[in-house]
Every structure is written in C-alpha cells, then in structure tokens.
A and B are shown apart, each in its own frame.
Chain A
Amino acid sequence: DAGVTQSPTHLIKTRGQHVTLRCSPISGHKSVSWYQQVLGQGPQFIFQYYEKEERGRGNFPDRFSARQFPNYSSELNVNALLLGDSALYLCASSRANRGWNEKLFFGSGTQLSVL
C-alpha cells in the first residue's frame, strides 16, 4: 500500500501570494493532520480533520485554513504568505480520531519557500 503522499514536494512563492498543499492519506485512514516544521525546530500542530470535520486547531492565524474531502484527502491553504511561513509542511494520517494506539503515519512533506 502507498504511504501518505504529499504534493508538491517543493514550492517557491513570493510574499502576499497564496498556496495550496495537498495530502493523500493511507487507504482506510480517515484522520489527517497538518504540521509546520520551521528549519531547526520541531513540528508544530496546525490542524486535524476527521470525517471531513475539523477536530483540532493549533495556534496559527486565520490565514491558515484546511479542508478534507469525501475521499479523506486534504488541502492546506495559506493566504497572504509571509517570509516566516517558509517551512516544511508535514501531513500525517491515522485510521481514527482518538486512541493512543492509533499510530500516526507521516508523509515526506512539502518544502515551502517564501521569497
């Protein structure tokens, strides 16, 4: 089975533009989470979606939004890009919304550079 796939792998944008990042979870997984990893830091939680509903939101401005589609894939949108949005954006999927035994599977991320 394919793992978590993210597209594109790399992206260059300029300040003020918007960007859409895409994530396809592992088949059968209904939960998708998004993390931002700035260079030299650990990932920070942005959103979780389960069954197409937002189930958690981290401390990020309203410029960040996401959605989940009926096939459980997800998009992360960032408007009015700032230089500080340059980061690796990681997507993770799991079968369910809760339960400590639910293992998170991460994709290889999208590297966003804002110039």
Chain B
Amino acid sequence: AQTVTQSQPEMSVQEAETVTLSCTYDTSESDYYLFWYKQPPSRQMILVIRQEAYKQQNATENRFSVNFQKAAKSFSLKISDSQLGDAAMYFCAYRRGETSGSRLTFGEGTQLTVNP
C-alpha cells in the first residue's frame, strides 16, 4: 500500500520569507502523480501544485515550486515571498497512475502559520 508522510506537524514563516514543507512517500509503482493541497479554515481543499512522476523537471506555479526527488521518494513544497493568505493546512497527496480515478492518498498535513 502507498503511504505519504509529512514529518512537520507545524511550520511558521515570516511574511515575505521562504518556507519549505517536507513530504516523503512510499510506493512500488512507477506511474504516479503527486500533489500539494491547501486547506484554509473554510475547509475546502484547494490544489496548489501537481507533479507527474515521469517528468524530471520540477513543477512551478507562481510563488509555489516543488523539489521532486524520485529516487529518494521525496516531494517538498517551497513557498516563496510568503503572504498572510498562505496560512493554512497543507497536505501532500499521491495518486497511482491514470487508472486510479480520483483515489488520493493524503499525508497527515502541515499547519503553516505566516507571521506579519
């Protein structure tokens, strides 16, 4: 079974600074996808960024980027120029291949606080 581990229950960052959230996963599959979701107090899960396992290039979405280390099974999220609105719970998630539909395996989450 696939597992996703987020070893940082809480992180904090100063506004305008950079923070990195860690995620490791375990799988024997070669075809899979990785995601970072944000869950603000409204409880709605919002997709931040996604990465295809077969792509060497790290995904980037504006201030958000990932460091995908396939051999190490590591998938960290870097938030640059942190803003107050970035404060939320962040979840790393794994999806196995194209045929697994919308079955995501989530980590335990990291609560990010942004200090003004």
Contacts and interface: CB of A to CB of B under 8 A. Distances in A.
B44 A97 contact: no
A92 B107 contact: no
B43 A109 contact: yes
Given A3-B44, A40-B109, A90-B43, 6 more contacts: A31-B102, A33-B101, A50-B101, A56-B102, A104-B47, A107-B44
Contact of B33 (A50, A88, A100): A100
Q: Is the interface of B mostly helix, strand, loop or mixed?
A: mixed
Given A42-B91, A42-B108, A100-B95, A106 B44 contact: yes
B107 A42 contact: yes
Interface size class of B (residues with CB under 8 A): 20 to 34
A22 B109 CA distance: 26
Interface range for A:
20 to 34
B33, B46, B107, B109 pick with most chain A CB within 10 angstroms: B109
B98 A58 contact: no
B99 A45 contact: no
A107 B43 CA distance: 8
Nearest to A4: B44
A58 B106 contact: no
